[in-house]
Amino acid sequence: MVAQNSNRARTGAAVSAAGMVLNLLLAAAKITAGVLFGLVSVIADGFNNVGDCCCGAVSAVSFRVSEKPADKEHPYGHHRAEYVFSMVIGFLVLAFAVELGRESVEKIISGALSNVNAVIYAVLGASIAVKSSMAALFAVFSKKLDSEELRAASLDSACDCAATAAVITGALFSQYMSLPADGWAGVAVALFILWQGFKIVREAGSELLGHAPDPELLKSIKSIILSGDGVLGIHDLHVYGYGKGVYYATAHIEMDAKTDALSSHAVIDGLERRICDELNVSLTAHLDPVDLQDSEALALAEKLRESLAAVLPEAEAHDIRLIRGAKNKLVFDVGIPFSSELTDAEARKLIEEACAALGDFACAATLERE
C-alpha cells in the first residue's frame, strides 16, 4: 500500500513537472510574439500559460505532500491535501476567466482591431496543438492515478485551447473583416472558463466536506460482512474517505448472544482483516448480540418493523432491545435516508404512531439519518 502510494506520487509529480515545462515554453513564445507585434490578447494568453505553470508547480507539490505518512497532528495522513490544491487550481482558473472577461470587454468598448501576421498564427496554432496533447496526457493519467488535480489540469488545458482558438478567430475577423470580434469571442470563452473553474472548486470542496461513499463500496463491505460465520445482520455502516484510496469504516454486526465472546471476536476480527485486504478499507466493527432464544422479544421486534413499515416505509429499525420491568420498554434505533422529505419532528411523530400499535409498551427510539 505504501509502495503503491509512493509510485502514484512520483508519477503524478512527473506528469505535473512535464506540464510546467511545456507551459513555460508556451508562455515565453506567446509573450514574446505579443510584445513584438503589440497584441494584448496574445500577451494575456501567454500569462495564462504562466498561471498554468504555477498550477503545475502546485500540483507537483501536492502529490509530495499527500504522500507524507500520518503523524501526531494528522493521524489519518495528508491525502486530502490533493483536494486543497485542486481548489487552488480552480481559483486560479476563475481568476483567469475574470481577467480575460475584463480585457475582452475593454476591447469591445475601444473597438480596437488586432495587428496580425503569419508568426502570430504559427505560435497560436502550435499552442493549440501542444495544449490538446497536454489535455489528453493529463486525462489519461488522471484516470490512471484517480487524481482530481490532473483531471482539473486536463480541463484547464482544454479551456486554454478554446481561449487560444478565440484569439485566432478574433484575429481573423479583425484582419479580413475589420471587426473587433476578438473581444466578443473572449467574453464567450471567459464565461465558459468561469463555469469550468466553478466546477473544479465545487467538486474539490465536496471532497473536503465529505460526501456519500460509493454505493458499490458499501455493497461490497456488506457482502463480506454478511458472509461471516454466524453473522445475522449489519447496520450503522459508515464509511469515511481521507483522500484517494484511504477509507475508514465503522459497522455494527449482529451475532447470536449465545456464542461466546472469544468466538464472536475471532469472526469479526477476521472480517476486518478481509475487508482491509480486499477493499483497502480499515474497518472497526462493534458486536451487537441478538438473543435468538427470546421469542417474545423477537416477535415484538418483527411486529415493530411491520407497524413501522405501514406508516414510514423508508425507515429501518435495528438495535431492538426489550427491557423488562414494571412496564416493559422497547429501545431501538430508526434509520431514515437523507433523501426523505420528512423533517425529524414529522418522522418522530410517525414512529410514535407505530409504537402505539404495539400495545402497552414504553418506547425509546433514536432517529438517525443514513
What's the pLDDT tens digit per position in 52-65?
A: 777 777 767 766 77
3-state helix, strand, coil in the chain (%, to 5): 65, 15, 20
Report, as an integer, the average pLDDT of 114-143.
86
| Separation CA 227–CA 265 (nearest Å) | 15
Q: In this predicted structure, what is the pLDDT of residue 27?
A: 87
Kindly report the CA angle at 281 between 278 and 284, in degrees rounded to 5? Answer: 120
Evaluate whether 275 touches 283 at the Cβ level (below 8 Å): yes
Locus of grid cell 418522530:
348
Q: Where are the domains positioned within the chain?
A: 2-209, 212-292, 294-370
Backbone angles phi, psi at 251, to 5 degrees: -155, 150
Q: Cβ distance 212 to 337 under 8 Å?
A: no
For the cut 50, the answer to whether the pLDDT of residue 340 exceeds it is yes
- 153-157, 252-256, 330-334, 357-361: lowest mean pLDDT where? 357-361
214 strand-pairing partners: none
What does the pLDDT average to over 287-299? Answer: 86
**In this structure, which CATH number among 3.40.190.10, 3.40.50.1980, 3.30.360.10, 3.30.70.1350 belongs to the domain 212-292?**
3.30.70.1350
65 vs 329, which has greater pLDDT?
329
149-162 tens-digit pLDDT? 788 788 888 888 88
pLDDT for the residue 264: 92
State the pLDDT at residue 2: 47
Let me know how long the chain is: 370
Cell of 332: 431501538
Q: Is the predicted pLDDT of residue 268 greater than 90, yes or no?
A: yes
CATH class belonging to 294-370: alpha beta
φ, ψ of residue 233 to 5 degrees: the values are: 180, 175
Least confident of 4-8, 68-72, 88-92: 4-8
As to burial, measured by CB atoms within 10 angstroms (0-12 exposed, 13-18 middle, 19+ buried), residue 253 is buried
Torsion (CA) 118, 119, 125, 131 in degrees, nearest 10: -170
Mean pLDDT highest for which of 101-110, 205-214, 257-266? 257-266
pLDDT at 241: 81
Model pLDDT, residue 265:
92
User: What is 2-209's CATH topology?
Assistant: Alpha-lytic protease prodomain-like (1.20.1510)
Query: Is 212-292's fold the same as 294-370's?
Result: yes
Q: What is the mean pLDDT of the chain?
A: 81
Statement: residue 18 has pLDDT above 80: yes
Full DSSP string of 189-252: HHHHHHHHHHHHHHHHHHHHH--PPPHHHHHHHHHHHHTSTTEEEEEEEEEEE-STT-EEEEEE
Distance CA 10, CA 60 (A): 9
Helix (H, G, I), strand (E, B) or coil at 286: strand
Which is nearest to 41 in space by CA: 148, 242, 187? 187
Report the percent of the chain where pLDDT is more than 90: 12
**pLDDT mean over 318-323:** 82
The radius of gyration computed from the CA coordinates of the chain, to the nearest angstrom, equals: 30
Pairing of strands 247-256, 231-241: antiparallel
Per-residue pLDDT, 179: 66
Torsion angles phi and psi, residue 313, rounded to 5: -60, -30
